[in-house]
Structure 1
Amino acid sequence: MNQDRSIHWEESGQNCSAVWHSENGIAAHKKVVTADDTLTADDAYHLACAGTAILWKGDFQNARQLLQALVRRIDKPSKKSKRAGKRVDKSTDAAPKKTAKDIFNQHRLIQSQRARVLGMLLIQCNLDHSISLRRAPDISQACAEAYGAVEHSYVVSLRELLGVISAHEWRKNGLPILADENGEPVFVHPHYGVFSPVRGEYIELVCAAPLPKSLDGASTAFDIGVGTGVLAIILAMRDVQKIVATDQDDRALTCAKENIALLGLGSQIEIVKANLFPAGKASLIICNPPWVPARPSSTLEHAVYDPDSQMLKGYLGGLKDHLLPQGEGWLILSDLAEHLELRTREELLSWIEDAGLVVLGRIDTKPKHSKAFDESDSLHFARAAETTSLWRLGIK
Structure 2
Amino acid sequence: MSTIHWTDNDTPRSARWHSESAAPLPRRTVVADDRMKADDAYRQACEGTALLWQGDFHNARQLLRAMGHRVDRKPPGPGTSPSESFHLHRRGSGHRARVLGKLLVLLDEDYTLGLRRAPDVRQACREAYGPATGPTAVSLRELLGVIGAHQWRRRGVEVPALGARIHPHYGVFAPVRGEYVDLVARTPLPPAARHGLTTSTAFDLGTGTGVLAAVLAHRGIRRVVATDISPRALACAGENVHRLALSDRIEVSSDPGLYPEGRAHLVVCNPPWLPARPTGPVEQGVYDPDGTMLHGFLTGLSAHLRPGGEGWLVLSDLAEHLGLRTRQQLLDAIGAAGLHVVGRSDTRPRHPRAKDTSDPLHAARSAETTSLWRLAPAP
Match of 1:206 among 184, 209, 216: 184
- Structure 1 residue 41 and structure 2 residue 19: aligned? no
Please tell me the root mean square deviation across aligned C-alpha atoms, in Å: 1.4
2:203 alignment counterpart: 222
Residue 378 (structure 1) aligns with: 360
- What's 1:270 paired with? 251
1:56 aligns with 2:53: yes
Which letter does structure 2 place at the counterpart of 1:60? F
| Structure 2 SS opposite 1:7 | strand
3-state SS of 1:307 partner: coil
Amino acid at match of 2:29: V
CA distance in 2, matches of 1:203, 1:299: 21
Contact 2:161 2:182 survives alignment (8 Å): no
Matches of 2:113 and 2:363 in 1, distance apart? Answer: 43
Residue deviations 1:86-111, cap 9 Å, x none? xxxxxxxxxx9711111111011000
Match of 2:62, SS state, is: helix
Q: What is the Cα deviation at residue 40 of structure 1? A: 1.1
Gaps of 5+ in 2: none
Segments of 4+ moved more than 4 angstroms: none
After TM superposition, the score normalised by the length of structure 2 is 0.96
Q: Indicate the larger mover: 296-305 or 232-241.
A: 296-305
Is 1:259 aligned to residue 240 of structure 2? yes
Bigger mean CA offset, 68-77 vs 39-48: 68-77
Partner of 1:352: 334
CA distance in 1 between partners of 2:150 and 2:246 (Å): 23
The separation in 2 between residues aligned to 1:219 and 1:299, in whole angstroms, is: 33
* Residues in 2 aligned to 1:239 and 1:262: alpha-carbon distance in whole angstroms: 18
User: SS of 1:67's equivalent?
Assistant: helix
CA distance in 1, matches of 2:72, 2:347: 32
- Written as runs of structure 1 = structure 2, the 5 A alignment for 1:108-123 is 108-123=90-105
Q: Does 1:72 align with 2:69?
A: yes
Counterpart Cα distance in 1 of 2:281 and 2:37: 33
1:90: which partner in 2?
Answer: none
Please give the alpha-carbon distance, in whole angstroms, between the structure 1 residues aligned to 2:205 and 2:133. Answer: 35
Please, which moves more after superposition, 313-322 or 63-72?
63-72
Which residue is equivalent to 2:119? 137
Please give the residue correspondences for 1:125-164 in structure 2 after superposition, counting only pairs within 5 Å: 125-164=107-146
Q: Distance in 2 between matches of 1:67 and 1:294?
A: 27
1:195 maps to 173
Letter of the structure 1 residue corresponding to residue 101 of structure 2: G
* Local SS of the residue matching 1:9: strand
State the distance in 1 between where 2:161 and 2:113 align: 40
SS for the counterpart of 2:66 is: helix
In the alignment, residue 34 of structure 1 is paired with which amino acid?
A: V
Look up the SS of the partner of 2:313 in the other structure.
strand
- Give, in whole Å, the separation in 2 of the partners of 1:311 and 1:224: 9
- Give the corresponding residue for 1:23: 20
Aligned length: 374
**For the Cα contact (< 8 Å) 1:47–1:53, is it kept in 2?**
yes
Amino acid across the alignment from 1:226: T
Q: CA deviation at 1:206?
A: 0.8
C-alpha distance after superposition, 1:328-382 (max 9, x if no partner): 1000000011111111110110111111111010000111111111111111111
Query: What is the match of residue 149 of structure 2?
Result: 167
Note the residue ranges of structure 1 that are not aligned, 5 or more in a row: 86-95
